[in-house]
Amino acid sequence: MTAQVLVIGWDGATWEYIDPLLAQGKLPHLRALLERGARAVLTSTLPPYTNVAWPSLVTGLNPAKTGVFDSARSEPGTYHPVPTNLLGFRGIPIWQWVNRLGLRAGVLNVPMTYPARPLEGYMVTGFDSPVDGPFVAYPQDVLQRWAEAGHPYRVLREETQLMAQQNPHQSRGDLDVFTRKWVELTRAQGTMVAWLLRHRPVDLMFVVFSATDSINHRTRDREHIARVYEAADEALGRILEAAPADALVFLLSDHGSTPAYRYLSLYRVFHEAGWLHFRPQVASRFWRRLPAPFGELAASLWDRLPEALRRGISRPLLWRDPRLMVAYENIDWSRTRAFARSSLGPIYINRQRRYPQGIVGDEEYESLRREIVETLQTWRDEQGEPLFGPVWRGEELYPNARDEDEPPDLVFTPARWSDHPITGYPTDPVVRPIPPEREYGTHTPEGILLLAGPGVRQGTRLSPAHLTDVVPTVLALLGLPIPDNVDGRVIEEALSAPVEPRFVPVAEDEAEDAVYTEEESSEVMQRLRDLGYM
Protein backbone atom coordinates (compact mmCIF):
# COMPACT_ATOMS: atom_id res chain seq x y z
CA MET A 1 0.00 0.00 0.00
CA THR A 2 1.00 3.67 -0.29
CA ALA A 3 2.88 5.22 2.60
CA GLN A 4 0.02 7.23 4.03
CA VAL A 5 -3.60 8.24 3.40
CA LEU A 6 -4.95 11.67 4.28
CA VAL A 7 -8.70 12.24 4.34
CA ILE A 8 -9.25 15.94 4.98
CA GLY A 9 -12.77 17.22 5.48
CA TRP A 10 -13.73 20.83 4.90
CA ASP A 11 -17.21 20.70 6.40
CA GLY A 12 -19.78 22.31 4.09
CA ALA A 13 -17.20 23.30 1.46
CA THR A 14 -18.54 24.05 -2.01
CA TRP A 15 -16.99 24.60 -5.42
CA GLU A 16 -19.29 27.64 -5.68
CA TYR A 17 -17.04 29.38 -3.15
CA ILE A 18 -13.77 27.71 -4.15
CA ASP A 19 -13.73 28.28 -7.91
CA PRO A 20 -13.91 32.10 -7.75
CA LEU A 21 -11.01 32.07 -5.28
CA LEU A 22 -8.97 29.86 -7.59
CA ALA A 23 -9.71 32.27 -10.45
CA GLN A 24 -8.26 35.06 -8.28
CA GLY A 25 -5.03 33.11 -7.78
CA LYS A 26 -5.85 32.14 -4.19
CA LEU A 27 -5.79 28.73 -2.42
CA PRO A 28 -2.35 27.69 -3.79
CA HIS A 29 -2.18 24.36 -1.97
CA LEU A 30 -5.60 23.28 -3.21
CA ARG A 31 -4.63 24.43 -6.71
CA ALA A 32 -1.51 22.26 -6.61
CA LEU A 33 -3.60 19.27 -5.60
CA LEU A 34 -6.01 19.92 -8.48
CA GLU A 35 -3.15 19.93 -10.96
CA ARG A 36 -2.10 16.46 -9.90
CA GLY A 37 -5.50 15.03 -9.08
CA ALA A 38 -9.16 14.65 -9.96
CA ARG A 39 -12.14 16.71 -8.81
CA ALA A 40 -15.88 16.13 -8.61
CA VAL A 41 -19.03 17.29 -6.96
CA LEU A 42 -19.67 14.98 -3.99
CA THR A 43 -23.40 14.43 -3.62
CA SER A 44 -24.60 14.30 -0.03
CA THR A 45 -27.33 12.39 1.75
CA LEU A 46 -30.93 13.57 1.93
CA PRO A 47 -31.23 15.55 4.05
CA PRO A 48 -27.75 17.02 3.44
CA TYR A 49 -26.86 17.68 7.05
CA THR A 50 -23.74 17.01 9.08
CA ASN A 51 -25.01 14.38 11.48
CA VAL A 52 -26.70 12.38 8.70
CA ALA A 53 -23.94 12.76 6.12
CA TRP A 54 -20.75 11.99 8.06
CA PRO A 55 -21.82 8.51 9.24
CA SER A 56 -22.60 7.60 5.62
CA LEU A 57 -19.33 9.06 4.36
CA VAL A 58 -17.09 7.28 6.88
CA THR A 59 -18.82 3.87 6.46
CA GLY A 60 -19.89 3.86 2.81
CA LEU A 61 -23.45 3.03 3.95
CA ASN A 62 -26.69 4.85 3.25
CA PRO A 63 -28.73 6.20 6.21
CA ALA A 64 -31.01 3.14 6.19
CA LYS A 65 -27.98 1.14 7.33
CA THR A 66 -26.31 3.71 9.60
CA GLY A 67 -29.65 4.38 11.31
CA VAL A 68 -29.19 8.18 11.30
CA PHE A 69 -31.89 10.27 9.61
CA ASP A 70 -32.27 13.41 11.70
CA SER A 71 -30.61 15.54 14.37
CA ALA A 72 -32.39 13.70 17.20
CA ARG A 73 -34.28 10.48 17.89
CA SER A 74 -36.89 9.64 20.51
CA GLU A 75 -35.90 7.55 23.47
CA PRO A 76 -37.76 4.23 23.15
CA GLY A 77 -41.36 4.46 24.35
CA THR A 78 -41.25 8.26 24.70
CA TYR A 79 -41.25 11.48 22.68
CA HIS A 80 -38.15 12.68 24.52
CA PRO A 81 -35.48 13.57 21.93
CA VAL A 82 -31.85 12.56 22.29
CA PRO A 83 -29.32 14.00 19.83
CA THR A 84 -28.17 11.41 17.31
CA ASN A 85 -24.68 12.85 17.81
CA LEU A 86 -24.52 10.94 21.11
CA LEU A 87 -26.28 7.76 19.97
CA GLY A 88 -23.68 6.55 17.50
CA PHE A 89 -24.38 4.81 14.22
CA ARG A 90 -24.22 1.38 12.63
CA GLY A 91 -21.51 0.30 10.25
CA ILE A 92 -17.74 0.09 10.36
CA PRO A 93 -15.97 3.47 10.08
CA ILE A 94 -13.00 3.32 7.75
CA TRP A 95 -10.57 3.82 10.64
CA GLN A 96 -11.89 0.74 12.41
CA TRP A 97 -11.77 -1.23 9.16
CA VAL A 98 -8.10 -0.43 8.49
CA ASN A 99 -7.38 -1.27 12.15
CA ARG A 100 -8.79 -4.74 11.50
CA LEU A 101 -6.36 -5.02 8.60
CA GLY A 102 -3.38 -4.14 10.79
CA LEU A 103 -3.06 -0.43 10.01
CA ARG A 104 -3.00 2.50 12.42
CA ALA A 105 -5.40 5.44 12.21
CA GLY A 106 -5.66 8.98 13.55
CA VAL A 107 -9.12 10.57 13.73
CA LEU A 108 -9.44 14.26 14.58
CA ASN A 109 -12.57 16.38 14.99
CA VAL A 110 -14.86 14.16 12.90
CA PRO A 111 -18.52 14.77 13.83
CA MET A 112 -20.58 11.91 15.28
CA THR A 113 -17.57 10.24 16.96
CA TYR A 114 -18.27 10.94 20.66
CA PRO A 115 -17.41 9.06 22.80
CA ALA A 116 -13.92 8.32 21.51
CA ARG A 117 -13.58 4.56 21.04
CA PRO A 118 -10.38 2.57 21.52
CA LEU A 119 -8.40 2.08 18.33
CA GLU A 120 -4.86 1.46 17.17
CA GLY A 121 -3.81 5.07 16.83
CA TYR A 122 -5.75 7.93 18.38
CA MET A 123 -9.01 9.85 18.22
CA VAL A 124 -10.16 13.33 19.25
CA THR A 125 -13.91 13.74 18.80
CA GLY A 126 -15.80 16.43 16.88
CA PHE A 127 -17.61 19.71 17.55
CA ASP A 128 -20.79 17.91 18.64
CA SER A 129 -19.13 16.44 21.75
CA PRO A 130 -19.90 17.61 25.29
CA VAL A 131 -17.28 20.28 25.96
CA ASP A 132 -16.14 18.75 29.23
CA GLY A 133 -17.08 15.19 28.31
CA PRO A 134 -14.74 12.54 29.74
CA PHE A 135 -14.40 10.69 26.42
CA VAL A 136 -13.29 13.36 23.93
CA ALA A 137 -9.93 11.67 23.32
CA TYR A 138 -8.42 8.20 23.07
CA PRO A 139 -5.89 7.62 24.44
CA GLN A 140 -6.06 10.51 26.90
CA ASP A 141 -2.37 11.26 26.49
CA VAL A 142 -2.79 12.41 22.88
CA LEU A 143 -3.99 15.81 24.11
CA GLN A 144 -1.58 15.80 27.03
CA ARG A 145 1.40 15.38 24.69
CA TRP A 146 0.13 18.22 22.50
CA ALA A 147 -0.19 20.44 25.56
CA GLU A 148 3.36 19.52 26.63
CA ALA A 149 4.51 20.69 23.21
CA GLY A 150 3.20 24.13 24.15
CA HIS A 151 -0.30 23.96 22.68
CA PRO A 152 -3.14 23.36 25.14
CA TYR A 153 -6.02 21.82 23.20
CA ARG A 154 -8.69 24.44 22.51
CA VAL A 155 -10.45 23.37 19.30
CA LEU A 156 -13.61 21.90 20.85
CA ARG A 157 -14.26 24.69 23.35
CA GLU A 158 -13.59 27.49 20.86
CA GLU A 159 -15.56 25.81 18.06
CA THR A 160 -18.54 25.57 20.40
CA GLN A 161 -18.30 29.24 21.37
CA LEU A 162 -18.02 30.36 17.76
CA MET A 163 -20.84 28.15 16.49
CA ALA A 164 -23.19 29.64 19.08
CA GLN A 165 -22.75 32.95 17.20
CA GLN A 166 -24.10 31.49 13.96
CA ASN A 167 -27.71 31.65 15.14
CA PRO A 168 -29.24 34.86 13.72
CA HIS A 169 -31.74 35.00 16.59
CA GLN A 170 -29.07 35.25 19.29
CA SER A 171 -26.29 37.69 20.06
CA ARG A 172 -23.73 37.18 17.31
CA GLY A 173 -20.91 39.53 18.15
CA ASP A 174 -18.65 41.29 15.67
CA LEU A 175 -18.23 39.57 12.30
CA ASP A 176 -14.58 40.58 11.95
CA VAL A 177 -13.79 39.05 15.34
CA PHE A 178 -15.77 35.91 14.46
CA THR A 179 -13.85 35.48 11.22
CA ARG A 180 -10.47 36.21 12.79
CA LYS A 181 -11.02 33.63 15.52
CA TRP A 182 -11.98 30.97 12.99
CA VAL A 183 -8.89 31.79 10.93
CA GLU A 184 -6.66 31.45 14.00
CA LEU A 185 -8.34 28.23 15.12
CA THR A 186 -8.12 26.69 11.65
CA ARG A 187 -4.42 27.45 11.42
CA ALA A 188 -3.88 26.00 14.91
CA GLN A 189 -5.77 22.86 13.93
CA GLY A 190 -3.60 22.44 10.85
CA THR A 191 -0.49 22.85 13.02
CA MET A 192 -1.74 20.13 15.36
CA VAL A 193 -2.39 17.68 12.52
CA ALA A 194 1.06 18.34 11.05
CA TRP A 195 2.66 17.81 14.48
CA LEU A 196 0.85 14.51 14.92
CA LEU A 197 1.92 13.34 11.46
CA ARG A 198 5.54 13.99 12.39
CA HIS A 199 5.51 12.74 15.98
CA ARG A 200 2.76 10.08 16.00
CA PRO A 201 2.51 8.92 12.38
CA VAL A 202 -0.37 6.72 11.30
CA ASP A 203 -1.33 4.94 8.08
CA LEU A 204 -4.68 6.77 7.80
CA MET A 205 -5.26 10.33 9.03
CA PHE A 206 -8.89 11.51 8.96
CA VAL A 207 -9.49 15.13 10.04
CA VAL A 208 -12.40 17.55 9.68
CA PHE A 209 -12.27 21.37 9.72
CA SER A 210 -15.54 23.05 10.75
CA ALA A 211 -14.72 26.66 9.86
CA THR A 212 -15.78 26.33 6.22
CA ASP A 213 -19.28 25.39 7.34
CA SER A 214 -19.55 27.85 10.19
CA ILE A 215 -18.61 30.93 8.16
CA ASN A 216 -21.36 30.12 5.64
CA HIS A 217 -23.94 29.99 8.43
CA ARG A 218 -22.72 33.31 9.85
CA THR A 219 -22.46 35.53 6.76
CA ARG A 220 -23.08 35.96 3.04
CA ASP A 221 -20.04 38.23 2.75
CA ARG A 222 -17.61 36.66 0.26
CA GLU A 223 -14.58 38.46 1.70
CA HIS A 224 -15.09 36.89 5.12
CA ILE A 225 -15.81 33.51 3.54
CA ALA A 226 -12.61 33.86 1.49
CA ARG A 227 -10.52 34.54 4.60
CA VAL A 228 -11.70 31.30 6.20
CA TYR A 229 -11.14 29.24 3.03
CA GLU A 230 -7.65 30.73 2.73
CA ALA A 231 -6.93 29.69 6.32
CA ALA A 232 -8.16 26.18 5.51
CA ASP A 233 -5.80 26.18 2.52
CA GLU A 234 -2.91 27.23 4.78
CA ALA A 235 -3.75 24.33 7.11
CA LEU A 236 -3.87 22.02 4.10
CA GLY A 237 -0.39 23.17 3.12
CA ARG A 238 1.01 22.47 6.59
CA ILE A 239 -0.49 18.98 6.56
CA LEU A 240 0.85 18.17 3.09
CA GLU A 241 4.30 19.43 4.08
CA ALA A 242 4.34 17.01 7.03
CA ALA A 243 3.09 14.05 4.97
CA PRO A 244 5.15 11.82 2.67
CA ALA A 245 5.36 12.97 -0.94
CA ASP A 246 3.57 9.82 -2.08
CA ALA A 247 0.60 10.23 0.28
CA LEU A 248 -2.85 9.56 -1.10
CA VAL A 249 -4.99 12.65 -0.43
CA PHE A 250 -8.78 12.97 -0.33
CA LEU A 251 -10.09 16.51 0.26
CA LEU A 252 -13.86 16.45 0.64
CA SER A 253 -16.99 17.87 2.26
CA ASP A 254 -20.11 16.29 3.68
CA HIS A 255 -22.45 18.74 1.91
CA GLY A 256 -22.35 22.07 0.11
CA SER A 257 -23.29 25.59 1.19
CA THR A 258 -25.18 28.59 -0.12
CA PRO A 259 -26.42 31.92 1.22
CA ALA A 260 -30.00 31.74 2.51
CA TYR A 261 -32.45 34.51 1.62
CA ARG A 262 -35.82 33.30 2.92
CA TYR A 263 -37.25 31.30 5.83
CA LEU A 264 -39.88 28.59 5.38
CA SER A 265 -41.96 28.07 8.54
CA LEU A 266 -42.90 24.41 8.99
CA TYR A 267 -45.02 24.92 12.09
CA ARG A 268 -47.19 27.44 10.20
CA VAL A 269 -47.84 24.88 7.48
CA PHE A 270 -48.42 22.01 9.92
CA HIS A 271 -50.66 24.01 12.25
CA GLU A 272 -52.74 25.52 9.45
CA ALA A 273 -53.32 22.04 7.99
CA GLY A 274 -54.48 20.80 11.40
CA TRP A 275 -51.68 18.26 11.83
CA LEU A 276 -49.89 19.92 14.78
CA HIS A 277 -51.21 21.34 18.06
CA PHE A 278 -49.68 22.77 21.23
CA ARG A 279 -50.89 22.71 24.83
CA PRO A 280 -52.31 26.12 25.90
CA GLN A 281 -49.53 26.92 28.36
CA VAL A 282 -46.17 28.67 28.32
CA ALA A 283 -43.44 26.26 27.25
CA SER A 284 -40.63 25.59 29.73
CA ARG A 285 -37.96 26.76 27.32
CA PHE A 286 -39.13 30.36 27.58
CA TRP A 287 -38.65 30.37 31.34
CA ARG A 288 -35.11 29.09 30.77
CA ARG A 289 -34.33 32.29 28.87
CA LEU A 290 -34.46 34.26 32.11
CA PRO A 291 -31.00 35.31 33.38
CA ALA A 292 -29.03 32.60 35.20
CA PRO A 293 -29.60 31.10 37.67
CA PHE A 294 -33.28 32.10 37.61
CA GLY A 295 -34.03 30.50 34.23
CA GLU A 296 -33.40 26.88 35.15
CA LEU A 297 -35.01 27.36 38.56
CA ALA A 298 -38.15 28.92 37.03
CA ALA A 299 -38.43 26.17 34.42
CA SER A 300 -38.02 23.45 37.07
CA LEU A 301 -40.69 24.98 39.30
CA TRP A 302 -42.99 25.51 36.32
CA ASP A 303 -42.83 21.87 35.32
CA ARG A 304 -43.84 20.82 38.84
CA LEU A 305 -47.01 22.92 38.94
CA PRO A 306 -50.36 21.21 38.30
CA GLU A 307 -51.36 21.53 34.66
CA ALA A 308 -54.55 23.45 35.47
CA LEU A 309 -52.52 26.06 37.37
CA ARG A 310 -49.98 26.35 34.55
CA ARG A 311 -52.77 26.97 32.07
CA GLY A 312 -54.40 29.57 34.30
CA ILE A 313 -51.15 31.49 34.71
CA SER A 314 -50.44 31.14 30.98
CA ARG A 315 -53.78 32.51 29.74
CA PRO A 316 -52.95 36.26 29.92
CA LEU A 317 -49.37 35.66 28.73
CA LEU A 318 -50.52 33.70 25.68
CA TRP A 319 -53.14 36.33 24.93
CA ARG A 320 -50.27 38.80 24.56
CA ASP A 321 -47.93 36.43 22.73
CA PRO A 322 -49.21 33.01 21.59
CA ARG A 323 -45.69 32.06 20.49
CA LEU A 324 -44.85 31.34 24.14
CA MET A 325 -46.58 27.96 23.89
CA VAL A 326 -44.60 26.83 20.83
CA ALA A 327 -41.95 24.25 21.65
CA TYR A 328 -41.41 20.59 20.90
CA GLU A 329 -41.84 19.64 24.56
CA ASN A 330 -45.19 21.45 24.59
CA ILE A 331 -46.78 19.59 21.67
CA ASP A 332 -50.25 18.28 22.44
CA TRP A 333 -49.74 14.69 21.35
CA SER A 334 -53.38 13.79 21.94
CA ARG A 335 -54.34 15.99 18.97
CA THR A 336 -51.17 15.97 16.83
CA ARG A 337 -51.14 13.78 13.72
CA ALA A 338 -47.79 14.76 12.19
CA PHE A 339 -44.75 16.66 13.41
CA ALA A 340 -41.19 17.66 12.55
CA ARG A 341 -38.58 17.30 15.26
CA SER A 342 -36.11 19.50 13.39
CA SER A 343 -36.07 21.68 10.30
CA LEU A 344 -33.86 19.27 8.33
CA GLY A 345 -36.63 17.59 6.31
CA PRO A 346 -37.86 14.46 8.14
CA ILE A 347 -41.58 14.36 8.99
CA TYR A 348 -43.06 11.88 11.47
CA ILE A 349 -46.61 10.56 11.71
CA ASN A 350 -47.87 10.23 15.29
CA ARG A 351 -48.77 6.58 14.78
CA GLN A 352 -50.45 4.23 17.14
CA ARG A 353 -48.07 1.54 18.48
CA ARG A 354 -45.05 3.62 17.44
CA TYR A 355 -45.52 6.47 19.90
CA PRO A 356 -47.01 6.39 23.40
CA GLN A 357 -49.87 8.77 22.52
CA GLY A 358 -50.10 7.93 18.84
CA ILE A 359 -53.48 8.74 17.29
CA VAL A 360 -53.03 7.77 13.63
CA GLY A 361 -54.13 4.22 12.89
CA ASP A 362 -53.07 1.98 10.02
CA GLU A 363 -56.27 2.71 8.10
CA GLU A 364 -55.51 6.45 8.06
CA TYR A 365 -51.73 6.29 7.63
CA GLU A 366 -51.42 6.27 3.83
CA SER A 367 -54.17 8.83 3.27
CA LEU A 368 -52.46 11.20 5.73
CA ARG A 369 -49.13 10.78 3.99
CA ARG A 370 -50.78 11.60 0.65
CA GLU A 371 -52.45 14.63 2.22
CA ILE A 372 -49.12 15.92 3.55
CA VAL A 373 -47.35 15.43 0.21
CA GLU A 374 -50.14 17.17 -1.71
CA THR A 375 -50.40 20.03 0.79
CA LEU A 376 -46.68 20.78 0.79
CA GLN A 377 -46.54 20.75 -2.98
CA THR A 378 -49.44 23.21 -3.30
CA TRP A 379 -47.72 25.96 -1.29
CA ARG A 380 -46.50 28.81 -3.52
CA ASP A 381 -44.74 32.11 -2.95
CA GLU A 382 -46.01 35.48 -4.17
CA GLN A 383 -44.57 34.82 -7.62
CA GLY A 384 -46.44 31.53 -7.86
CA GLU A 385 -43.25 29.48 -7.50
CA PRO A 386 -43.34 26.27 -5.40
CA LEU A 387 -41.86 26.44 -1.90
CA PHE A 388 -41.27 22.72 -1.45
CA GLY A 389 -39.44 20.36 -3.76
CA PRO A 390 -39.84 16.59 -3.87
CA VAL A 391 -41.42 14.93 -0.83
CA TRP A 392 -40.31 11.32 -0.48
CA ARG A 393 -41.87 8.52 1.47
CA GLY A 394 -39.36 7.26 3.99
CA GLU A 395 -39.08 3.82 2.41
CA GLU A 396 -38.19 5.39 -0.94
CA LEU A 397 -35.06 7.05 0.46
CA TYR A 398 -34.29 4.50 3.15
CA PRO A 399 -35.38 1.03 2.02
CA ASN A 400 -35.24 -1.66 4.70
CA ALA A 401 -34.56 0.84 7.49
CA ARG A 402 -35.05 -0.58 10.98
CA ASP A 403 -38.13 0.54 12.91
CA GLU A 404 -36.11 0.92 16.11
CA ASP A 405 -34.02 3.62 14.41
CA GLU A 406 -37.19 5.72 13.96
CA PRO A 407 -36.91 6.39 10.23
CA PRO A 408 -39.10 9.29 9.11
CA ASP A 409 -42.40 8.68 7.37
CA LEU A 410 -41.75 11.47 4.85
CA VAL A 411 -38.78 13.65 3.89
CA PHE A 412 -39.10 17.00 2.14
CA THR A 413 -36.61 19.36 0.52
CA PRO A 414 -37.09 23.04 -0.24
CA ALA A 415 -37.70 23.91 -3.89
CA ARG A 416 -34.73 26.30 -3.63
CA TRP A 417 -31.77 25.43 -1.44
CA SER A 418 -31.41 29.15 -0.71
CA ASP A 419 -34.69 28.91 1.23
CA HIS A 420 -33.94 27.81 4.78
CA PRO A 421 -36.63 25.74 6.54
CA ILE A 422 -37.19 26.45 10.22
CA THR A 423 -39.71 25.01 12.64
CA GLY A 424 -40.82 28.58 13.40
CA TYR A 425 -44.22 29.54 14.85
CA PRO A 426 -47.80 28.99 13.69
CA THR A 427 -48.14 32.80 13.55
CA ASP A 428 -45.21 33.17 11.10
CA PRO A 429 -45.72 33.81 7.41
CA VAL A 430 -45.05 30.57 5.55
CA VAL A 431 -42.24 32.30 3.68
CA ARG A 432 -40.49 35.52 4.65
CA PRO A 433 -37.21 37.20 3.72
CA ILE A 434 -34.19 36.94 5.99
CA PRO A 435 -33.22 40.51 6.84
CA PRO A 436 -29.62 41.58 6.10
CA GLU A 437 -28.85 42.10 9.80
CA ARG A 438 -29.69 38.41 10.36
CA GLU A 439 -27.83 37.10 7.34
CA TYR A 440 -27.51 33.35 7.25
CA GLY A 441 -26.31 30.50 5.07
CA THR A 442 -27.70 27.02 4.63
CA HIS A 443 -26.83 23.64 3.08
CA THR A 444 -27.02 22.12 -0.38
CA PRO A 445 -26.43 18.50 -1.47
CA GLU A 446 -23.41 19.43 -3.64
CA GLY A 447 -20.18 19.04 -1.69
CA ILE A 448 -16.62 18.72 -2.98
CA LEU A 449 -14.26 15.85 -3.72
CA LEU A 450 -10.61 16.16 -4.72
CA LEU A 451 -8.33 13.13 -4.78
CA ALA A 452 -4.64 13.09 -5.63
CA GLY A 453 -1.70 10.75 -5.29
CA PRO A 454 -0.57 7.36 -6.54
CA GLY A 455 -3.09 5.74 -8.86
CA VAL A 456 -5.16 8.90 -9.45
CA ARG A 457 -5.59 10.57 -12.84
CA GLN A 458 -4.17 14.08 -13.00
CA GLY A 459 -6.02 17.27 -13.90
CA THR A 460 -9.35 15.48 -14.34
CA ARG A 461 -12.88 16.75 -13.80
CA LEU A 462 -15.31 13.93 -13.03
CA SER A 463 -19.05 13.46 -13.04
CA PRO A 464 -20.67 13.80 -9.61
CA ALA A 465 -19.85 11.06 -7.12
CA HIS A 466 -21.76 10.13 -3.96
CA LEU A 467 -20.27 10.42 -0.51
CA THR A 468 -20.77 6.68 0.05
CA ASP A 469 -18.23 6.20 -2.78
CA VAL A 470 -15.33 7.54 -0.71
CA VAL A 471 -14.66 4.48 1.47
CA PRO A 472 -14.62 1.88 -1.34
CA THR A 473 -12.45 4.17 -3.48
CA VAL A 474 -9.88 4.71 -0.72
CA LEU A 475 -9.71 1.00 0.01
CA ALA A 476 -9.46 0.05 -3.68
CA LEU A 477 -6.56 2.46 -4.22
CA LEU A 478 -4.79 0.90 -1.25
CA GLY A 479 -5.37 -2.61 -2.56
CA LEU A 480 -7.36 -3.44 0.58
CA PRO A 481 -10.54 -5.51 0.79
CA ILE A 482 -13.87 -3.65 0.89
CA PRO A 483 -16.79 -4.58 3.17
CA ASP A 484 -19.45 -6.18 1.00
CA ASN A 485 -22.30 -4.19 2.55
CA VAL A 486 -21.16 -0.76 1.29
CA ASP A 487 -23.65 1.12 -0.83
CA GLY A 488 -21.03 3.20 -2.62
CA ARG A 489 -18.90 2.25 -5.62
CA VAL A 490 -15.25 2.59 -6.55
CA ILE A 491 -14.87 5.83 -8.56
CA GLU A 492 -13.03 4.03 -11.34
CA GLU A 493 -13.04 7.03 -13.69
CA ALA A 494 -10.73 8.81 -11.22
CA LEU A 495 -8.10 6.09 -11.38
CA SER A 496 -5.10 6.05 -13.71
CA ALA A 497 -5.28 2.27 -14.11
CA PRO A 498 -8.04 -0.30 -13.63
CA VAL A 499 -8.35 -1.91 -10.24
CA GLU A 500 -10.08 -5.11 -9.26
CA PRO A 501 -12.01 -4.37 -6.06
CA ARG A 502 -12.03 -7.19 -3.52
CA PHE A 503 -15.18 -7.45 -1.44
CA VAL A 504 -15.28 -9.47 1.74
CA PRO A 505 -18.35 -10.40 3.78
CA VAL A 506 -18.90 -8.60 7.05
CA ALA A 507 -21.33 -9.23 9.85
CA GLU A 508 -24.01 -6.58 10.20
CA ASP A 509 -22.62 -4.29 12.88
CA GLU A 510 -24.80 -3.03 15.67
CA ALA A 511 -24.39 0.52 16.89
CA GLU A 512 -22.04 0.89 19.81
CA ASP A 513 -23.75 1.37 23.17
CA ALA A 514 -24.45 5.06 23.72
CA VAL A 515 -22.50 6.63 26.58
CA TYR A 516 -23.94 9.96 27.72
CA THR A 517 -25.52 11.69 30.69
CA GLU A 518 -28.74 13.71 30.69
CA GLU A 519 -26.64 16.86 31.17
CA GLU A 520 -24.52 16.01 28.11
CA SER A 521 -27.65 15.31 26.08
CA SER A 522 -29.16 18.67 27.10
CA GLU A 523 -25.90 20.46 26.26
CA VAL A 524 -25.69 18.98 22.76
CA MET A 525 -29.41 19.54 22.12
CA GLN A 526 -28.97 23.21 22.98
CA ARG A 527 -25.97 23.39 20.65
CA LEU A 528 -28.10 21.97 17.83
CA ARG A 529 -30.71 24.66 18.54
CA ASP A 530 -27.98 27.30 18.43
CA LEU A 531 -26.93 25.95 15.05
CA GLY A 532 -30.49 26.19 13.74
CA TYR A 533 -30.94 22.42 13.37
CA MET A 534 -33.76 22.12 15.91
- Please say whether the beta carbons of 51 and 112 come within 8 A: yes
**Residues contacting residue 361 through CB under 8 Å, at least 6 positions apart:** 351, 352
For the chain, the farthest-separated pair of C-alpha atoms sits apart, in whole angstroms, at 74
- What local confidence, expressed as pLDDT, does residue 529 receive? 59
**Residues contacting residue 167 through CB under 8 Å, at least 6 positions apart:** 529, 530, 531, 532
For residue range 387-432, list pLDDT tens digits in order: 999 999 999 999 999 999 999 999 999 999 999 999 999 999 999 9
Q: CB atoms < 10 A from the CB of 118, how many?
A: 10
Q: For the chain, which residues make up each domain, given as ranges?
A: 5-258+454-530, 262-277+331-433, 282-321
- What local confidence, expressed as pLDDT, does residue 508 receive? 66
CB-based burial label for 375 (10 Å; 0-12, 13-18, 19+): middle
Between the two ends of the chain, the Cα-to-Cα distance in Å is 43
Integer Cα distance of 480 and 501 in angstroms: 8
- What local confidence, expressed as pLDDT, does residue 519 receive? 60
The residue among 516, 508, 515 whose CA lies nearest residue 90 is: 508
The residue among 514, 526, 522 whose CA lies nearest residue 76 is: 514
- What local confidence, expressed as pLDDT, does residue 531 receive? 58
- Please say whether the beta carbons of 10 and 433 come within 8 A: no
pLDDT tens track, the chain, 534 positions: 556 999 999 999 999 999 999 999 999 999 999 999 999 999 999 999 999 999 999 999 999 999 999 988 898 889 988 877 666 789 999 999 999 999 999 999 999 898 898 999 999 998 887 777 778 899 989 888 888 888 888 888 898 888 888 877 777 889 999 999 999 999 999 999 999 999 999 999 999 999 999 999 999 999 999 999 999 999 999 999 999 999 999 999 999 999 999 999 999 999 999 999 999 999 988 888 888 778 888 888 988 999 999 999 999 999 999 999 999 999 999 999 999 998 889 999 999 999 999 999 999 999 999 999 999 999 999 999 999 999 999 999 999 999 999 999 999 999 999 999 999 999 999 999 999 888 999 999 999 999 999 999 999 999 999 999 999 999 999 999 999 999 999 999 999 999 999 999 998 665 555 555 566 555 555 555 555 565
Pairing, β 388-393 against β 410-414: antiparallel
- What local confidence, expressed as pLDDT, does residue 128 receive? 80
- What local confidence, expressed as pLDDT, does residue 528 receive? 57
- What local confidence, expressed as pLDDT, does residue 140 receive? 87
Integer Cα distance of 123 and 139 in angstroms: 7
* Architecture (CATH level 2) of domain 262-277+331-433: 2-Layer Sandwich (3.30)
**Residues contacting residue 287 through CB under 8 Å, at least 6 positions apart:** 295, 298, 299, 302
- The SS3 assignment for 81 reads strand
- What local confidence, expressed as pLDDT, does residue 114 receive? 86
Return the axis-axis angle of helices 155-163 and 211-218, rounded to nearest 10°: 20
Integer Cα distance of 216 and 260 in angstroms: 9
- The SS3 assignment for 213 reads helix
- Please determine, looking at this structure, whether the domain spanning 5-258+454-530 carries the CATH number 3.40.720.10: yes
pTM (2 d.p.): 0.93
Integer Cα distance of 307 and 328 in angstroms: 17
Cis status, amide bond into 115, omega within 30 of 0: yes
Total residues belonging to the chain? 534
Q: Which residues of 273-290 are buried (b: 16+ CB within 10 A; e: fewer)?
A: eebbbbbebbbbbbbbee
User: Measured in whole angstroms, how far is the alpha carbon of residue 89 from the centre of its chain?
Assistant: 13
